[in-house]
Amino acid sequence: MKVPILRGVKTVNNFNRITKILTALGVALAASACTTINVDHVRLQDDISLSKGDAMVVLGRHQTPEIQTEASLVACIGGKLRSGTTDIRIIPEAEFVNQFYPWFEARTAPLRPEKLRKVMREPLVAKKLNDLNIKYFVWVEGSTERTASAGSMTCSIGPGGGGCFGFGTWEDTSDYETTVWDVDTFEEVGRVSTEAVGTSYMPAFVVPIPLLAQVEGDACQGMGKQLVEFFSRSASNKLKTIK
């Protein structure tokens, strides 16, 4: 009697072997998908006055197609300030821009603190800012760009199945600068600059496995932490730990 050949068992064994190889490869390279970050800050004024009930707004620069700060980064920095400060309100960008239309739209937003003084001459704008008790503007400018790439990958499909084979790598660079304006004095009181460089990998042995460097997220973490420390010198501003 002929014993039937269990071809499915061999296929399963091969699949399990491939899965183990991919898992090991992923673990080996995961530590390599990392980000190097550098944060610099300048404090132009020591007397940063914040009290319970005060508010800040975090805004991104969007003046031209070349200057388009990601809304996700602006929201992330606002979240870091919100979680790192107590009793200080952080007004979301979209909410603020809608309330003050058209004064803070992409093409009309003031580019320098002294231009804010001109905007404040509008009675309606001044009243709204006073009602919201906004003490500081936090402007974020910059972007994350793909700066280098290498490697190759090919994918095919046939009667017996398909898959991708190869190895790719790329480098992303985040370059951002945050400026802090005092609404009462119409002066810049501080500046935080951040550069983050991360390398991501995409090995493929049947199934591509992306190992991504979280460049934008790491840039947000660095800037957010520095901004919280920046405002922490105010005696009335208690801090909580950023997680």
pTM assigned to the model: 0.77
What pLDDT is recorded for position 3? 39
Give me the residues paired with residue 55 across strands: 89, 134
DSSP for 87-147, written as a single string: S-EEE-HHHHHHHTTTTTSTTTS-SSHHHHHHHHTSHHHHHHHHHHTEEEEEEEEEEEEEE
Structure confidence by residue, pLDDT tens digits, 153-174: 888 887 777 788 888 888 999 9
Q: Give me the residues of the chain with pLDDT under 70, please.
A: 1-33, 66, 233-243
What pLDDT is recorded for position 129? 92
SS3 (DSSP) at 22: helix
Token pair of 194 as six digits? 């951040």
Whole-number Å distance between alpha carbons of 139 and 185: 16
What pLDDT is recorded for position 23? 52
What pLDDT is recorded for position 240? 45
